[in-house]
Amino acid sequence: MGSSRFLGVRSFQVNFPGSARCQTSPSREGFLPPGFHGADFKSVTSHPHAPLFAVYQVFENVAEKYDVMNDSMSLGIHRVWKDILVHKMNPSPGTLLVDVAGGTGDIAFRFLNYVRSVRERQLQQKLRNHQNLSWQEISKSYQEEKSNPLGDSQVVVCDINKEMLKAGMQKAQHLGYSEGLSWVLGNAEELPFDDDKFDVYTIAFGIRNVTRIDLALQEAYRVLKPGGRFLCLEFSHVSNPLLSRLYDLYSFQVIPVLGEVIAGDWKSYQYLVESIRRFPPQEELKAMIEDAGFLKVDYQNLNSGIVAIHSGFKL
């Protein structure tokens, strides 16, 4: 657990001895600063250390009900948005992905499914192209390929919150995911990984919750290989005025109520709604990504800008 060589590890690492980028997660009692007693938006913005502490508490509070609440709040549409993100990534076998703020594993599992599907299609095409082989040779080739269904692809789920990682690992075990999957406890603003490590960096519904977006973007750039791709799926600003008003009404009047009914936590979901409204609009985030060093930066609005996918490359 102490090594920073995480590949193949199937439980999250808490420590990275000898690394200046070591990031550990204290207990809930030790994490909250004196005088901080809630995750309401006022305390998040007023306490000098509140942003990091409050966000940690929010996601610790909602970890067990996080997936259920996502389905309830978005009427299941978040699943489509995440599918679009992975199809936009279009990973090939051998891709090394880091999914930051990946908590419950939604992007990681989709990535593994996608790569496995690509690998299967490649195998079928290979067999069709070698129909002159004997059935023994075909069987041997098939078994060899099937023994490595991911083609050496790996995904590392990195999250600052141990409860979110715990929920993700439990879900992975329940769904049968193990190969090519690692879990690492770490801060998006100070990732515990070497430079030039990953082919793709994703962060879905997470970047608005970091204290310093600019630092998180710089870290994304650092850990990507030259030619690597940055992809961010995040709530954004609705372009249609009528839809924007309806969306605000739903967000402020319905989502906190759902949070109370389903998760028993009004304040955490009130904070999440407020964090969405304060998040930079599409063009501003695009400029921030470019400032971090990324090139060919663009974005795609989904559902009139309720969410947007930003993309950039380390070239």
Q: Is 209 one of the annotated binding-site residues?
A: no
Domain count, the chain: 1
Q: Is 202 one of the annotated binding-site residues?
A: no
d(CA 273, CA 248): 9
Characterize the bridge pairing of strands 224-235 and 295-302: unpaired
d(CA 252, CA 43): 18
Report if residue 201 sits inside a domain. Answer: yes
The distance of Cα 38 from the centroid of its chain, to the nearest Å, equals 25
Report if residue 66 sits inside a domain. Answer: no
Report if residue 164 sits inside a domain. Answer: yes
Q: What is the pLDDT of residue 136?
A: 74
As a whole number, the mean pLDDT across the chain is 81
Q: SS3 letters for 108-144?
A: HHHHHHHHHHHHHHHHHHHHHCCCCCCHHHHHHHHHH
pLDDT, tens digit, 9 for 90 and up, residues 155-191: 999 999 999 999 999 999 999 999 999 999 999 999 9
Three-class SS state of 182: strand
Highest mean pLDDT among 58-67, 136-145, 241-250: 241-250
Report if residue 176 sits inside a domain. Answer: yes
Q: CA-CA distances (angstroms) from residue 295 to 37, 205, 228?
A: 42, 22, 11
In this prediction, residues 210-217 reach a mean pLDDT of: 96
Residue 153: domain span: 76-236+279-313
Q: Is 108 one of the annotated binding-site residues?
A: no
Q: Is 159 one of the annotated binding-site residues?
A: yes
Q: What is the pLDDT of residue 198?
A: 99
Q: For residue 224, give the CATH number of its domain.
A: 3.40.50.150
pTM of the model: 0.80
Report if residue 213 sits inside a domain. Answer: yes
Least confident span in 8-12, 279-283, 290-294: 8-12
Report if residue 216 sits inside a domain. Answer: yes
